[in-house]
């Protein structure tokens, strides 16, 4: 009898000891982290992850620019965006819109995560120094770009600079601290990145990768937002005097499909899109929403989700006569109210559904010139400021200005308008309005928001943090008033 | 003369033989006088026995001095009959209706229910009138205490969802489901229940507590459903044929506005002076100009999408029997069903063969099963049929499907009949299962058993759209996918049973191995040159050509052992132990240990008891405690893995990496090498009392689920969404009670078997690692209106929270309403709490309605479930019905908001209830006044969150049986008619209260009644 007990026990023991190998999980279709991080191609794949994780939400990125930065100001109107339903999309309600909660927020932070991974792991890789330097530079630049937009839309953000820790609570830092990080990242990037002509001589195909001047442009933007006029003017001058960029002679050529790639003289940092890539990875949605008017060619190819988005007549009427930049706008005879529609981002005939190939400029030379002009005007150097403005005006077919006719403030007021006429629907209007015409911004908020009297108009200068972020990170505190 | 002599010699020789041994003959019949073939007749104390022939007749030469015959037959009470010199007997067996002797299948063996120490419920299809049922899971609906299966989706081929003794997992889907075992083979997915034809099922045993389930270790934590198929069991050949036809009708439609009311509603909305309409100016704010309303078409879209003449049928043919000791059964089944919403349908062909053979010391069995399922997935839109403009005719003047009356909606809101017109989509599943087992009796009492099998399932699906969807979309698109699952299972064990004096002991030990593989691939493209090329040749698609593939494997290795001991059949002890290792867990945590024990005391076996209370045949107290585990988690969670995908950043194409198993940041997770088994500790205490006339069972249980795997949120700013950790725990406590009676009147002419059961379950989260998880968000028209579910410590897993709706602001309350930024006609919510500086809650009204004013509304899982069944037999008629009751469950009726809230809501049609909205002259206290937007707080208040309790007459069946005596080819015939879901008692205002958690347009299915006619014949 007692032998019988031995048998099952032995069986169990044999099982337990012999089977540990059997229980190792077999992985198919992916590799382990230990096997990666070996070659130059691995380093490039890693930084491509940072570009690509904005991937399906590059669409979100441009969509956000459009909704918040442009539709959320007095230059855009109409369609659903004028109604209470969509106030969240333009920033005038107490809830964050869906595309923030489950689009931008996770993909922005994923980009930061991918950039941090590169910064953690690539320096120790045993690979070609030039490849290593460039990839690290791109990581710094992308991280800084993400932080710039987050700080401007939400205020002070948690600072995450490594992937080696995973705390359960991450507190917010101040806006000043964030900008310090942004500036140091961009300076690190500028030191490491090649410029456009170097890339062309290398035979680089990917014209969307960050260059040294792109990082400079973002640094100038960061300085401008903080009111660091001298630094801003200096960095802008570096870009201008490099000779790498010049203004396109025809305004619409900045955006045209034929002029995409390194051929484009003016664009400094562009988000390149390719039609037909799916699911909306690398695709630009922006112009799809704006294109629908019966007079436009192929208009029925595009969705009318937007419900008649329009450019405001009040903005249109501010243009000077004969301003060639009005070519980017179009007055439709089909609409009875608000007939002005957007034309400057061209429709891509290869568009499939939401997936269109029209590139989106993030920074271009005209913007840099106007930033320098604004910085100089703030410093009191009206002559140099007007010189820059006149370069932009010349392309627009407008007469040059005379510095003698302006005071510092009146020149700034003019530059404000010049930026609107030049950079409309490129993701600048809201930021510019807050920076350069604060009172108008407050008045605009009051006209749009349903509850500003109860909560104060100032609260709408920032967006509320998405509820998913607050739920998952107890260290976050919502913006005041939300 | 010669013949007479030989006959005489023969006769005398027989007599001589007979004179040397006693022979007894007899006929065994059932209570209705029907002869019973295949009944076991055994001479007590010997191995000498026989079985009755097809006429119920037996003849047995007796060996002992004072022979006692043991007559036993499945489903009947065994009788001991002293021969007492008789040569011929007529033995009447009584049906074991209360199943005191029933044999239940427990892990790795069988046992008599009366000897069990654990909690098991058995369901025998032949005892139920399972006429209207086409799916084995439906057979269990409402019949097993503690098991709730929603009938929300009655479509055949739908995968059932089981809740056994409460919610038990933080993960969605399969992880919380019980384990399904078919003929000894654990399946990795409950959907395999669809591959078994109900008419092939002999018995289903549901194991509920640890002492029953622990032997199944992995996934035994959520309970086990064991399905045993029929064997051949009658001498000779038996042929059975059955057929049924049935049709579905819609039980409840929604009363929506007609064209005139619809036109008027939007006109009123556009002209209401209080509303800002923004982009909806007079030119497009209402679809039909004033004065044209009498000339409008009026289309009843619900009628258009409902497949009113639907017809389904099922045919079954089986052949079974015993020949030279080989029991065999082969069956074929065809099911062809049309859905209630056209044109969806489901077709299934199922064939199986089973052999059981005992030869000397060997016992052998072989099972082969093949199922083919075909599903047409195109379904016209029921949800659209409620919202689409009634003023649009079905077809416009060009003969195309008409567009929405609101111009602005045309590109987004398609005609409800569009899916059938513009797309084709179907799937086909082939499942093959082969298994075999061998048992060998080494020495008396010691058996060795080995079993092995393989299940292969391949599922292919095809989709194409060959007409534009939106007005702007021109392209045709198609996609195809194929997914294959393969499971290999084998187990082996030794079992030793012995009885010495009054002790019986049985020891079992062994092991098992299971391998699971899934692999699949898909491809898609758009822009095909002609319609209907699509998935037949996907290479013809010009653009957006994509593809993908996946491959996944998992293994589980286990050792198991069990000891059963009983003393005099009175004191029973069971001890189980199981050791499991699974590949999905972290390197140091692959193994889990699952011990359990059960005790039972059969008081009815004590002499003093049977003397004092002779009318009770069973009085059993049992208790069990044990641990079961769950390994049902997705793989690839324990190491950091890197995947690749192509990315364009300009003119070239490069590989980019991603980690967290997906490039979608919304789902990416951080790996956790410490992942380990979930553990469930169950305590079960039960009492069973019964005699042939009644049976009652009461169980109390307390199930603690610990180390539950949570997708713990991590700060999104880390670039991930969650990490899987073993930190959740929850507890289910409950009571189950049932009572079955068997009553007979008028000399057994009229028999009545009523049964009543009720169960109560309370579920509560006991630990969530401090996390609070928001879920069950309300989506209407692609916009989220916020969360209604909160998972947090101290509340049920599926807790629903909402605002307290207390009425509509009336004119007399205008001032107070203004303090809440509301006006008369707006909904009024209770202001219960306020918010402090750091977002914490402060009791007391604060003049604002904020998230802190939400209160606990209930559990989306029912607290009480119950049923009442009744089977009435009179001569050859049988009338049976059963009621299912589900009580105290919260449902967020989102459809109430979309259909009865008087807002614009993108020009959708609404229920006629909006005509009763608040106006100064009609001070409603339920429907608010005309308004622009859907109030997101109202949608998440008890204006929309309702109690989904109901009592439903699930099934009503009338059957007529005919028995044929003698040598006719046909032995018996059964004709029946049945109706399901005839009556529902509920206060729920939506279509079907049996919907889980959220009733919104995303899961809108009409509630159907099914009427069936059928016939069964045995030859």
Q: Which of A5, A71, A106 to mutate to test the interface with B (most CBs of B within 10 A)?
A: A106
Inter-chain touch B557–A15, beta carbons under 8 Å:
yes
Q: Would you call B443 an interface residue with chain A, using a CB distance cutoff of 8 Å?
A: no
- A contacts of B411 (beta carbons < 8 Å): 303-305
A5-19, A44-58, A178-192, A347-361: least confidently modelled range: A5-19
Q: Would you call B484 an interface residue with chain A, using a CB distance cutoff of 8 Å?
A: no
B923 and B825 in contact (C-beta within 8 Å)?
no
Instruction: Return the closest-CA partner of residue B539 out of B524, B517, B518, B561.
Output: B524
Q: What is the pLDDT of residue A288?
A: 46
Q: What is the pLDDT of residue B17?
A: 43
A49: enclosing H helix or E strand: helix A40-53
Residues in chain B with pLDDT values less than 70: 1-21, 31-33, 75, 95-110, 114-115, 126-134, 154, 156, 211, 214, 217-219, 234-235, 275-285, 407-412, 469-474, 661-666, 782, 838-839, 932, 1002
Other Cβ atoms closer than 10 A to B374:
16
B112 and B118 in contact (C-beta within 8 Å)?
no
B-proximal residues of A, 413-442, CB under 8 Å: none
**pLDDT at position A278 over 70:** no
Inter-chain touch B717–A337, beta carbons under 8 Å:
no
The Cα of A414 is separated from the nearest Cα of chain B by a number of Å equal to: 32
CB-nearest to B642 from A36, A276, A469 is: A36
Inter-chain touch A261–B784, beta carbons under 8 Å:
no
A-proximal residues of B, 218-257, CB under 8 Å: none
Q: Would you call A304 an interface residue with chain B, using a CB distance cutoff of 8 Å?
A: yes
B625 and B681 in contact (C-beta within 8 Å)?
yes
Inter-chain touch A52–B475, beta carbons under 8 Å:
no
Rounded to whole angstroms, how far apart are CA atoms A26 and A34? 15
Inter-chain touch B720–A113, beta carbons under 8 Å:
yes
Q: What is the pLDDT of residue B754?
A: 92
CA B250 → CA A40, B306, B910, B911, distances in Å?
A: 64, 8, 19, 18
SS percent in chain B: helix, strand, coil, step 5 = 15, 50, 35
- What residues contact residue B704 under an 8 Å CB cut-off, 6+ apart? B680, B681, B682, B729, B730, B731, B766
Instruction: Return the closest-CA partner of residue A219 out of A270, A153, A158, A144.
Output: A144
Query: Minimal Cα distance from A88: which residue of B?
Result: B783
CA A155 → CA A95, A102, B259, B595, B771, distances in Å?
A: 16, 19, 51, 55, 26
Instruction: For CA atoms B717, B718, B724, B725, give the dihedral sign.
Output: negative
What is the layout of strands, in order, in the sheet containing B799-802?
A: B773-780, B783-791, B799-802, B855-859
CB-nearest to B932 from A15, A84, A302 is: A84
Rounded to whole angstroms, how far apart are CA atoms A119 and B674? 27
Q: What is the pLDDT of residue B284?
A: 47
Residue A316, CB-side half-sphere exposure with 13 Å CA sphere: 17
Q: Would you call B468 an interface residue with chain A, using a CB distance cutoff of 8 Å?
A: no
B788 and B777 in contact (C-beta within 8 Å)?
yes
Regarding an ipTM greater than 0.95, the answer is no
A-proximal residues of B, 515-544, CB under 8 Å: 526-527, 543-544
CB-nearest to B649 from A51, A114, A355 is: A51
In a domain, A350, yes or no: yes
Inter-chain touch B715–A15, beta carbons under 8 Å:
no
Inter-chain touch B715–A206, beta carbons under 8 Å:
no
Q: Which of A7, A9, A14, A15 to mutate to test the interface with B (most CBs of B within 10 A)?
A: A15
Other Cβ atoms closer than 10 A to A352:
24
In a domain, A317, yes or no: yes
Residue range A399-425: mean pLDDT, rounded: 93
Query: Minimal Cα distance from B715: which residue of A?
Result: A473
- B contacts of A282 (beta carbons < 8 Å): 647-648
pLDDT in tens, A189-237: 999 999 999 999 988 888 889 999 999 999 999 999 999 999 999 999 9
- What residues contact residue A228 under an 8 Å CB cut-off, 6+ apart? none
As given in the structure block, the two tokens for residue B30 are: 């059932």
Q: Which of B715, B724, B851 to mutate to test the interface with A (most CBs of A within 10 A)?
A: B715
Query: Minimal Cα distance from B819: which residue of A?
Result: A454
Inter-chain touch B555–A23, beta carbons under 8 Å:
yes
A-proximal residues of B, 142-201, CB under 8 Å: none
A74 and A315 in contact (C-beta within 8 Å)?
yes
Counting one residue from A and one from B, how many pairs have CB atoms under 8 Å apart?
A: 266
Rounded to whole angstroms, how far apart are CA atoms B881 and B260? 44
- What residues contact residue B475 under an 8 Å CB cut-off, 6+ apart? A352, A353, B468, B526, B527, B528, B543
Q: What is the pLDDT of residue A184?
A: 97
Q: Would you call A472 an interface residue with chain B, using a CB distance cutoff of 8 Å?
A: yes
A-proximal residues of B, 583-622, CB under 8 Å: 583-584, 590-591
**pLDDT at position A265 over 90:** yes
Q: Which of B650, B660, B677 to mutate to test the interface with A (most CBs of A within 10 A)?
A: B650
What backbone torsions phi and psi does residue B332 show, to the nearest 5 degrees? -135, 145
A6 three-class SS: helix
- B contacts of A451 (beta carbons < 8 Å): 821
CB-nearest to B472 from A12, A205, A300 is: A300
Q: Which domain holds residue A329?
A: 285-358
Give the CA-trace dihedral at B713, B717, B720, B724, to 10 degrees: -30
Burial pattern A353-373, b for ≥16 Cβ within 10 A else e, equals bbbbbbbbbbbbbbbbbbbbb
CB-nearest to B471 from A48, A300, A308 is: A300
Q: What is the pLDDT of residue B727?
A: 84
A69 and A429 in contact (C-beta within 8 Å)?
yes
Number of domains in chain A: 1
CB-nearest to B583 from A23, A29, A106 is: A23
B-proximal residues of A, 333-372, CB under 8 Å: 336-337, 352-353, 355
In a domain, A328, yes or no: yes
Give the CA-trace dihedral at A8, A12, A13, A19, to 10 degrees: 150
Inter-chain touch B511–A11, beta carbons under 8 Å:
yes
Longest dimension (CA), chain B: 124
- What residues contact residue B921 under an 8 Å CB cut-off, 6+ apart? none
In a domain, A426, yes or no: no
Instruction: State the Rg of chain A over Cα.
Output: 26
Q: Would you call A131 an interface residue with chain B, using a CB distance cutoff of 8 Å?
A: no
Q: Would you call A12 an interface residue with chain B, using a CB distance cutoff of 8 Å?
A: yes
Q: How confident is the model at residue A1 (pLDDT cuts 50, 70, 90)?
A: very low
Inter-chain touch B720–A278, beta carbons under 8 Å:
no
Q: What is the pLDDT of residue A480?
A: 82
B880 and B957 in contact (C-beta within 8 Å)?
yes
Rounded to whole angstroms, how far apart are CA atoms B758 and A8? 41
As given in the structure block, the two tokens for residue A203 are: 């035979």
Rounded to whole angstroms, how far apart are CA atoms B120 and B141? 16
- B contacts of A41 (beta carbons < 8 Å): 655
In a domain, A313, yes or no: yes
B377 and B425 in contact (C-beta within 8 Å)?
yes
Q: What is the pLDDT of residue A143?
A: 95
Q: Would you call A482 an interface residue with chain B, using a CB distance cutoff of 8 Å?
A: no
Q: What is the pLDDT of residue A277?
A: 60
Instruction: State the Rg of chain B over Cα.
Output: 33
Give the CA-trace dihedral at B214, B215, B219, B221, to 10 degrees: -10
pLDDT in tens, B384-437: 888 899 999 999 888 888 888 886 666 667 888 988 888 899 999 999 999 999
Q: Would you call B656 an interface residue with chain A, using a CB distance cutoff of 8 Å?
A: yes
Inter-chain touch B656–A107, beta carbons under 8 Å:
no
Residues in chain B: 1019
Rounded to whole angstroms, how far apart are CA atoms B664 and A60? 13
Rounded to whole angstroms, how far apart are CA atoms B6 and B9? 5
Q: What is the pLDDT of residue B632?
A: 80
Rounded to whole angstroms, how far apart are CA atoms B166 and B732? 6
What backbone torsions phi and psi does residue B648 show, to the nearest 5 degrees? -105, 130
Indicate the average pLDDT of chain B.
Answer: 84
Inter-chain touch B719–A28, beta carbons under 8 Å:
no
- B contacts of A18 (beta carbons < 8 Å): none
Indicate the average pLDDT of chain A.
Answer: 82
pLDDT in tens, A125-147: 999 999 999 999 999 999 999 99
B703 three-class SS: strand
Instruction: Return the closest-CA partner of residue A443 out of A431, A425, A461.
Output: A461
**pLDDT at position A57 over 50:** no
In a domain, A183, yes or no: no
A467 vs B334 pLDDT, higher one: B334
Residue range A364-384: mean pLDDT, rounded: 95
Instruction: For CA atoms B934, B940, B942, B944, give the dihedral sign.
Output: positive
A-proximal residues of B, 812-841, CB under 8 Å: 821, 838-839
In a domain, A390, yes or no: no
**pLDDT at position A284 over 80:** no
Rounded to whole angstroms, how far apart are CA atoms A158 and A173? 5
Q: How confident is the model at residue A392 (pLDDT cuts 50, 70, 90)?
A: very high
For tokens 């920076």, the residue is A435
Q: Would you call B488 an interface residue with chain A, using a CB distance cutoff of 8 Å?
A: no
In a domain, A367, yes or no: no
B-proximal residues of A, 52-71, CB under 8 Å: 52-53, 55-56
As given in the structure block, the two tokens for residue B197 are: 């034809």
Residue B768, CB-side half-sphere exposure with 13 Å CA sphere: 21
pLDDT in tens, A87-109: 666 666 666 666 677 677 888 88
Residue B4, Cβ density class (10 Å: 0-12 exposed, 13-18 middle, ≥19 buried): exposed
B454 three-class SS: strand
B514: enclosing H helix or E strand: strand B503-526
- Write down the pTM of the prediction: 0.80
Residue B437, CB-side half-sphere exposure with 13 Å CA sphere: 22
CB-nearest to A23 from B581, B651, B666 is: B581
Rounded to whole angstroms, how far apart are CA atoms A422 and A390? 12
């Amino acid at each position: 009898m007692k032998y019988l007990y031995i048998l099952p026990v032995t069986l169990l023991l044999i099982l337990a000891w012999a089977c540990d190998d059997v229980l190792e999980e077999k992985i198919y279709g992916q590799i382990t982290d230990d096997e990666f991080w070996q070659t130059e191609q691995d380093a490039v794949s890693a930084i491509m992850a940072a570009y690509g994780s904005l991937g399906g939400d590059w669409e979100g990125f441009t969509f956000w620019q459009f909704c918040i930065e442009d539709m959320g100001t007095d230059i855009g109107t109409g369609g659903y965006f004028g109604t209470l339903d969509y106030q969240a999309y333009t920033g005038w309600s107490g809830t964050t819109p869906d595309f923030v909660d489950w689009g931008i927020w996770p993909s922005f932070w994923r980009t930061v995560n991918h950039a941090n991974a590169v910064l953690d792991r690539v320096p120790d890789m045993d690979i070609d120094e030039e490849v290593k330097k460039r990839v690290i530079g791109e990581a710094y630049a992308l991280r800084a770009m993400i932080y710039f937009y987050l700080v401007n839309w939400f205020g002070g953000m948690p600072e995450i600079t490594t992937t080696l820790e995973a705390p359960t609570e991450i507190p917010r830092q101040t806006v000043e601290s964030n900008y310090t990080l942004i500036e140091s990242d961009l300076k690190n990037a500028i030191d490491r990145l090649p410029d456009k002509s170097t890339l062309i001589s290398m035979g680089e195909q990917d014209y969307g990768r960050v260059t040294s001047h792109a990082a400079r442009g973002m640094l100038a933007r960061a300085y401008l937002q903080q009111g660091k006029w001298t630094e801003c003017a200096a960095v802008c001058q570096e870009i201008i005097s490099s000779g790498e960029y010049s203004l396109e002679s025809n305004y619409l050529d900045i955006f045209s499909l034929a002029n995409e790639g390194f051929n484009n003289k003016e664009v400094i940092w562009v988000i390149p899109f390719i039609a037909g890539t799916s699911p909306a990875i690398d695709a630009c949605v922006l112009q799809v929403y704006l294109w629908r008017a019966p007079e436009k060619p192929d208009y029925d190819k595009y969705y009318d989700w937007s419900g008649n988005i329009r450019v405001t007549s009040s903005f249109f009427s501010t243009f000077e006569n004969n301003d060639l930049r009005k070519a980017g706008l179009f007055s439709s005879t089909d609409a009875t109210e608000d007939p002005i529609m957007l034309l400057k981002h061209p429709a891509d005939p290869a568009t499939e559904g939401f997936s269109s190939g029209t590139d989106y400029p993030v920074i271009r030379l005209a913007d840099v010139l106007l930033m320098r002009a604004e910085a100089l005007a703030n410093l009191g150097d009206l002559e140099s400021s007007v010189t820059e403005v006149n370069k932009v005006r010349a392309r627009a077919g407008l007469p040059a200005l005379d510095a003698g006719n302006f005071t510092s403030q009146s020149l700034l007021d003019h530059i404000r308008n010049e930026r609107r006429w030049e950079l409309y629907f490129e993701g600048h209007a809201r930021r510019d309005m807050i920076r350069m015409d604060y009172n108008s911004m407050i008045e605009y908020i009051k006209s749009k928001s349903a509850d500003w009297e109860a909560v104060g108009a100032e609260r709408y200068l920032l967006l509320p943090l998405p509820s998913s972020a607050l739920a998952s990170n107890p260290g976050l505190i919502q913006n005041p008033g939300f | 003369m010669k013949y007479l002599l030989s006959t005489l010699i023969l006769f005398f020789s027989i007599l001589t033989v007979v004179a040397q041994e006693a022979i007894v003959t007899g006929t065994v019949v059932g209570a209705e006088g029907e002869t019973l073939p295949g009944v076991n007749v055994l001479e007590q104390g010997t191995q000498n026995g026989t079985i009755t022939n097809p006429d119920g007749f037996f003849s047995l030469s007796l060996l002992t001095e004072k022979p006692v015959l043991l007559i036993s037959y499945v489903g009947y009470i065994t009788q001991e009959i002293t021969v007492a010199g008789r040569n011929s007997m007529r033995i009447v067996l009584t049906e074991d209706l209360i199943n005191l002797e029933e044999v239940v299948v427990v892990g790795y063996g069988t046992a008599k229910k009366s000897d069990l120490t654990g909690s098991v419920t058995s369901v025998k299809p032949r005892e139920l009138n399972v006429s209207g049922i086409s799916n084995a899971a439906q057979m269990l609906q409402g019949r097993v205490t503690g098991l709730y299966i929603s009938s929300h989706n009655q479509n055949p081929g739908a995968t059932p969802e089981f809740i056994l003794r409460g919610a038990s997992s933080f993960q969605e889907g399969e992880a919380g489901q019980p384990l399904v075992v078919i003929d000894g083979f654990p399946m990795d997915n409950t959907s395999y229940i669809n591959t078994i034809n109900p008419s092939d099922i002999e018995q289903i045993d549901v194991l509920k507590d640890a002492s029953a389930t622990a032997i199944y270790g992995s996934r035994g934590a959520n309970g086990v459903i064991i399905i045993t198929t029929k064997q051949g069991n009658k001498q000779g050949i038996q042929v059975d044929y059955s057929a049924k036809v049935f049709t579905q009708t819609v039980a409840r439609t929604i009363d929506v506005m007609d064209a005139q009311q619809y036109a008027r509603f939007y006109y009123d909305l556009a002209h209401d002076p209080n509303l800002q309409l923004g982009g909806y100016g007079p030119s497009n704010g209402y679809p039909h100009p004033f004065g044209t309303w009498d000339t409008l078409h009026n289309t009843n879209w619900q009628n258009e999408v409902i497949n009113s003449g639907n017809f389904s049928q099922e045919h079954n043919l089986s052949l079974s029997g015993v020949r030279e000791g080989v029991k065999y059964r082969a069956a074929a089944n065809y099911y062809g069903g049309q859905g209630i919403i056209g044109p969806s349908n489901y077709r299934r062909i199922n064939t199986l063969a089973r052999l059981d053979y005992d030869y000397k010391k060997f016992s052998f069995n072989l099972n082969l099963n093949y199922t083919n399922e075909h599903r047409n997935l195109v379904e016209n839109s029921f949800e659209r049929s409620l919202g689409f403009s009634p003023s649009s005719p079905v077809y416009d003047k060009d003969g195309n499907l008409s567009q929405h009356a609101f111009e602005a909606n045309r590109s987004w809101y398609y005609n409800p009949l569009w899916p059938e017109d513009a797309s084709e989509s179907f799937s086909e599943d082939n499942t093959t299962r082969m298994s075999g087992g061998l048992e060998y009796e080494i020495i008396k009492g010691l058996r060795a058993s080995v079993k092995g099998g393989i299940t292969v399932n391949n599922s292919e699906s095809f989709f194409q759209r060959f007409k534009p969807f939106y007005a702007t979309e021109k392209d045709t698109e198609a996609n195809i996918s194929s997914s294959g699952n393969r499971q290999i299972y084998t187990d082996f064990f030794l079992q030793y049973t012995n009885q010495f004096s009054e002790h019986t002991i049985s020891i079992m030990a062994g092991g098992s191995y299971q391998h699971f593989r899934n692999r699949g691939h898909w491809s898609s493209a758009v822009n095909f040159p002609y319609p209907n090329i699509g998935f037949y040749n996907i290479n013809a698609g010009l653009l957006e050509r994509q593809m993908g593939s996946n491959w996944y494997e998992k293994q589980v290795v286990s050792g198991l052992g069990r000891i059963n001991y009983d003393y005099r059949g009175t004191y029973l002890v069971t001890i189980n132990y199981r050791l499991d290792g699974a590949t999905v867990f972290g390197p140091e945590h692959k193994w889990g240990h699952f011990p359990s024990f059960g005790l039972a005391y059969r008081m009815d076996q004590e002499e003093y008891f049977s003397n004092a209370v002779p009318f009770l045949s069973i009085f059993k107290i049992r208790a069990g405690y044990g641990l079961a585990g769950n390994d049902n988690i997705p793989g690839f969670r324990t190491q950091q893995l890197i995947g690749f995908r192509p990315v364009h950043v300009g003119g070239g194409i490069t590989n980019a990496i991603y980690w967290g198993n997906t490039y979608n940041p919304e789902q990416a997770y951080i790996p956790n090498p410490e992942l380990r088994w979930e553990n469930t500790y169950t305590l079960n205490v039960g009492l069973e009392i019964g005699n042939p006339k009644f049976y009652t069972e009461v169980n109390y249980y307390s199930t603690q689920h610990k180390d539950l795997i949570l997708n713990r949120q991590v700060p999104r700013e880390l670039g991930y969404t969650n990490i899987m950790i073993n930190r959740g725990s929850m507890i289910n406590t409950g009571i189950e009670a049932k009572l079955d009676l068997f009553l007979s009147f008028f000399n057994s002419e009229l028999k009545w078997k009523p049964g009543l059961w009720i169960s109560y379950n309370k579920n509560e989260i006991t630990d969530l690692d401090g996390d609070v998880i928001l879920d069950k968000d309300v989506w209407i028209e692609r916009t989220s209106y916020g969360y209604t579910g909160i998972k947090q410590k101290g509340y049920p897993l599926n807790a629903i929270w909402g605002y307290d709706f207390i009425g509509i602001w009336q004119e007399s309350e205008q001032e107070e309403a203004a303090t809440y930024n509301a006006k008369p006609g707006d909904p009024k919510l209770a202001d219960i709490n306020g918010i402090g500086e750091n977002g914490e809650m402060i009791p007391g009204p604060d003049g604002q309605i904020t998230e802190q004013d939400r209160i606990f509304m209930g559990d989306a899982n029912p607290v009480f479930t119950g049923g009442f069944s009744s089977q009435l037999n009179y001569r050859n008629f049988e009338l049976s019905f059963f009621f299912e009751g589900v009580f105290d469950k919260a449902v967020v009726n989102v459809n109430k908001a979309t259909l009865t809230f008087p807002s614009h809501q993108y020009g959708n049609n609404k229920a006629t209830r909006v005509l009763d909205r608040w106006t100064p002259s009609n001070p409603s206290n339920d429907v608010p006044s005309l308004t622009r937007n859907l109030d997101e707080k109202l949608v998440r208040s008890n204006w929309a969150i309702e109690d989904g309790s109901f009592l439903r007459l699930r099934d009503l069946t009338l059957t007529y049986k005919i028995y044929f005596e003698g040598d006719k080819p046909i032995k018996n015939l059964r004709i029946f008619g049945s109706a399901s879901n005839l009556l529902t008692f509920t206060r729920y205002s939506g279509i079907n209260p049996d919907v889980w958690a959220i009733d919104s347009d995303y899961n809108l299915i009409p509630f159907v009644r099914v009427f069936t006619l059928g016939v069964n014949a045995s030859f």
